[in-house]
Structures are given as C-alpha cells and as structure tokens.
Chain A
C-alpha cells in the first residue's frame, strides 16, 4: 500500500491552497475597487466635508497610496496573520475581532445544514434505490430535483411563514433569545450551552438553528439524493452483492455494504458542497438575520469596507480549502483502491 505517499499528497494539496487564495484575493480586490465610492465616502455620506479633510481621512486609511501598494500591503499583513482594521463605522476595529464572533456562527449553521443535507440525502437516496422503479423512487427523484432547484431566500421565507408566523413554534431570525445570557467558549452556541450546562440557552439556540439549517440542508440535499440513489442502484446490481446473497449474508448487512460502496463518490460531493456552503450560507444568513460571515460581508459591502470584506473572504476561503483537503484525505483513506 502506498501509505507513505499520503504525506506527499497532503503537502501538494496544501500548497495548492496558496495560489487559489491568491487568485480569489486578487479578484475580490479588483471588484471592490471597481465599485463606485470608497469607505470614507460611504461613512461621510452626503455630509458636506471640506475636501482637505476628506483627503486627510483617506490618507489615514491608506487609500491615497497607489492601488498596487494597497494590494501588496494588505497581502503582506495577511501573511502575518493580520487582517487589518475596519475602514468604516466603527472605524479602526481589528477585522479579526469580527471574524472571531461571526465565523463560529457561520460554522455552526454550516455544520447543521451540512448534516441535515447528508442525512436527508442518504436516507432518501437509499430508499429510492431499494424501491427502484416504484412510486417511492419516482417521488424521491422528484424531491431531489425540486430541492436542487429551490431558491434559498424563497424557501427560507416559506419556512419562516409556516413555522414562525402561522404555527408560531420557531423563531425566524437570530441565533439565540437575546434575553438569555450565554457565556461563550467556542462561539458555537449549542456546544457552549452544553459545556456551561445552560439548558435555556441550549433549547433557544437549537430552536434558532432549525429553520436556517433545514433550509440550507434541504436545498443542498437534492444533489445527495440523486447521487446516492444512482450509486446505490449501480452497486446493488453489482456481482459482489449477488455473491453476498449467495453466501446467506443477512439483507441488512448487504444493504450496509452497498451503502458503503455507494458512499465513496458522495464524499467527493461533500468536499464540493462545503465550498457551495459559502454561497448558501450568505443567502441563508441574510434571510434569517443570522449574524455570521455572510451577513457580515453583505453589511460591509455597503460601507465599502475593503479590509473587512477581503479579510472575511480570505479567511473563509482558507477554511473551505482546508476542509476540502481533509475530505479528500478521508476519501483516500476510506477507499483502499486509491493510490496517491
């Protein structure tokens, strides 16, 4: 077995993260400068300010430097773990402070949404495959197409309306009841509630999580349903399944082995989907006023807060890249046929 090659594989994959992020940063940098206005104008707004003072403020923010210098200045800072300070109200706060509170919110939403999508996808896909050609199969395939094409804000609003307004059983925005005091450790509220033994906070944070993560989860599950179903149908028709049957192996075990085989390609999809979560999270967060990275970036775009946006996106992209690297390594470890 080529297990010694795994280290090499990881190093190569890790090195590939650098150009990916560099390209992303460049694109974001250029897009932000193309947008009309700048952070100072966004804050000052329509107020009449003498041009000299405006110049002075721009100088303080480093906006009077040539673009190429701004580009490398920020890159240099990021390489040293410094994401800069906010350029617009409130000014001068380290961007990393925002990331520290916003990122766990997004992560928590992503973990829940992701889990929902995988579980829903696996169950629906498996049932469809086991009932191949029947009504249930047709229903599940229809589900996958509908889920796949659902638009997050639209679907989120329906859920908000049904469960929040009509039934009134679930909150439609925020992460937790603001009256509850939760001592944060990791920033993942459910986990923190458990760690601090705070039952009201646990209930409240789970309630707040259900609708947004279900929205994200259902929309992302369509792809899994399809993939799991098709893989499972393929695997179930394979010779080794017939061989298992011919050995008197119980049916539930055979289903499990089939699922394992059908799951291998799903892991690749999971890596890809985690990247899609970035887009999904932004839409979900704005729909559910979820105080995560998505709403943070959207808020900051109005202020043209270059540093905040660049910092948040680089941080998020780095995280997504590391996750997809981990997923690929898991994939390689699970499938004995993979050679590095």
Chain B
C-alpha cells in the first residue's frame, strides 16, 4: 500500500504485574520506509523496548500485546503462525540488543553462532555456512580467524559487532537495534554507529532505539519521541532538531551535554511517571513549564503539519513563536 516497510498501527502493550497493569505502549502508530533510519527516542521506561520487541513478538508474560496491528510488507506479523513468523525472524528482520556481554551463547564458538542463521534459514551445509560466517565477520570489521573464538575472549565492542553480524547475516530488510551502544564506551559507540550506517547505505531500514537524542540526530532520517508509553512528537530529523515543538523534546535537546562549552546539562526536572497509574490529561504535564488546565484534564492527540506530528495542546502557540 503506502510503500512502507513496517507499519505499526495503534499498538497497545501491557504488563500484567502483581502490583498493577503497566500500560507500556499506549496506542502507538509508527511507520518505516524502505532504506530509512528511524530513531525512537525517550527516557528510560518510556516503552521503547516494549514497542520494538512487539515487532518481533518477544513480549513474554506478564507482558501481552493487547491491541493493534504490525504490518511488515503489508503482512500482519502479529497474526502469523509461529512457524511462518520464524522464517521472517532473523532473515528479513534482524535484532541487536543492548548488552553485548550477555547476548551471545557463552558455550558456543561465535562462528557456529553466526553460521547457525545460514543453516536455519538457507539450509546451508555447516562448512559453507562457516565460510559465510567468516565473510560477514570481516564485513563487520573482525578478522575472519576469530571464527573459532568464544564470546568471553572478545571485548564488548567486538561482541556487539558479532551480534550485528548475526543480525545482518542474511541481509534483512529491517534491522532493529535497541540501545546497541549504551553499554559501550564513547569511542566504540561511534564505530558501531558507523557500522549500522553502512548497512543503511546497503538498503537496510534501521529502527534505532536510544535515550540519547543527540546520538539519534546525527544519523537518523526521522525521529519519533516517546514519553510514558505514548508517541509525543515525530518527524524528519531537521524538523525535530531545528523546529522542535514538544516541550519534552525540547527538554531532551537541552539535556545534551555540550562537549565544547562549559557543561550545561539542563535535564528535565522530575521523572517519567509510573505507567501503572499515569497522570490524567497530558502525561507530561507534571514536568511541563507551560502546562495549563487543558493539559491537566484532556489528553492531547497527535496532529500533523506536513510530516511533522505532535501531541501537545500548546502546539499551535509553539508554532507561532
């Protein structure tokens, strides 16, 4: 239809915990075009990972996808049979997780772990698959002979490269990366971002999840900002950075540490709300400087001007300024 690779429509995900129902993702709609880099940004606990894992159906109890649709190339992922869905997982959609120290099997050689995706999805013979594993290792910047290494013999950065190698081994159309650099130091972080970008250049769409708006702004085509389980602002990266509308996004932008000037980490006061009982009205209002009575009572809906969408009662005023 619209030429989107992935379309998330009205997704609702809840965690049914003993202490209450966590509304982790609350009616979120998003889409990614082929070859596009979309970053989802927001503070920790805003539902970014939950949203991303819903795409690959990795939500396990007490979590449950309660509503919505996720279309991939027009096919609904959520209603697919497990066997059918597994053919897409790892082949057309690759996932990279946050912590490279724990995302590889400690007992198996990395070559075997990479080769496994070729064997599983393409039915390759072991020898041929290992050959391919060596190639993809080199592609992510690790010497081919590391194929016989175990995960514990590599650094965090190297392990994340291996995890990326496995995720991209079959040239997926979509690569989901959930804070892939958060556990790494800054210099390594940059090289991993370069690596991800190189796959984008080869035509892979990237869904990049981060709490770091500045990091996202460097590479993204579009940015979606999530707050307390909701999408609050979304648009092309220039729009988001230069024509920031939502007070939350503005706060995120300001809380970026300035490497050159004197440090001015002006973070947003307060914390994201407890998603078992989010505040009424606009969920951001308790932390918002310009909130008024409407914000406290009425939930804002997402409105778009061109490609730039925002959920804020004050959007009109902000636009005028």
List the interface of chain A (C-beta within 8 A of B).
238-240, 242-250, 257, 260-261, 264, 334-337
Contact = CB atoms under 8 A, between A and B. Distances in A.
Contacts of A242: 58, 97, 103
A239 B102 contact: yes
Contacts of A245: 56, 58, 89
B104 A243 contact: yes
B289 interface: no
19 contacts: A239-B97, A240-B104, A242-B58, A243-B104, A245-B89, A246-B95, A247-B116, A247-B120, A247-B166, A247-B167, A248-B87, A249-B116, A257-B105, A260-B107, A261-B105, A264-B107, A335-B107, A336-B152, A337-B106
Interface string B47-81: 00000000010100000000000000000000000
Contact of A249 (B90, B97, B104): B90
Contacts of B97: 239, 242-243, 246
Interface string B104-134: 1111100000001100110000000000000
A250 B97 CA distance: 19
Contacts of A264: 107
B230 interface: no
Given A239-B97, A336-B150, A246 B107 contact: no
Contacts of A334: 107
A242 B63 CA distance: 15
A243 B121 contact: no
Nearest to A260: B107
A316 to B, nearest CB: 34
Q: Which of B89, B103, B104 has the most CB of A within 10 A?
A: B103
A243 B105 CA distance: 9
Contacts of A257: 105, 107-108
Nearest to A254: B105
Given A248-B121, A249-B120, A240 B89 contact: no
A33 B74 CA distance: 86
Given A239-B97, A242-B97, A337-B150, A250 B103 contact: no
B163 interface: yes
Given A248-B121, A249-B90, A243 B103 contact: yes
Contacts of B117: 247-249
A265 to B, nearest CB: 12
Interface string B217-230: 00000000000000
A248 B90 contact: yes
Nearest to A249: B120
Nearest to A247: B90
Nearest to B56: A246
Contacts of A250: 86, 120
Nearest to A338: B152
Given A240-B106, A246-B90, A246-B97, 17 more contacts: A239-B99, A242-B97, A243-B103, A243-B104, A243-B166, A245-B89, A247-B89, A247-B94, A248-B89, A249-B120, A250-B86, A250-B120, A261-B105, A261-B106, A264-B107, A335-B107, A336-B107
Interface residues of B toward A: which range? 20 to 34
B14 interface: no
Interface of B: 56, 58, 86-91, 94-95, 97, 99, 102-108, 116-117, 120-121, 150, 152, 163, 166-167
A239 B88 CA distance: 20
A249 B118 CA distance: 11
A257 B120 CA distance: 15
Nearest to B88: A248
Q: Which of A243, A248, A250, A261 has the most CB of B within 10 A?
A: A248
Contacts of B88: 248
A244 B106 CA distance: 13
A264 B89 CA distance: 29
A335 to B, nearest CB: 7
B58 A336 contact: no
A285 B94 CA distance: 58
Contacts of B107: 257, 260-261, 264, 334-336
Contacts of B102: 238-240
B105 A240 contact: yes
Contacts of B167: 246-247
B56 to A, nearest CB: 5
A327 B106 CA distance: 20
Nearest to A133: B61
Nearest to B95: A246
A248 B106 contact: no
A53 to B, nearest CB: 69
Contacts of A335: 107
Q: Which 4 pairs show the lowest CB-CB distances between chains A and B?
A: A247-B90, A248-B90, A248-B89, A246-B95
A260 B105 CA distance: 10
A257 to B, nearest CB: 6
B91 A248 contact: yes
A336 B106 contact: yes
Given A248-B87, A248-B89, A243 B95 contact: yes
Given A239-B97, A240-B103, A246 B89 contact: yes
A250 B116 CA distance: 11
Contacts of B94: 246-247
Contacts of B58: 242, 245-246
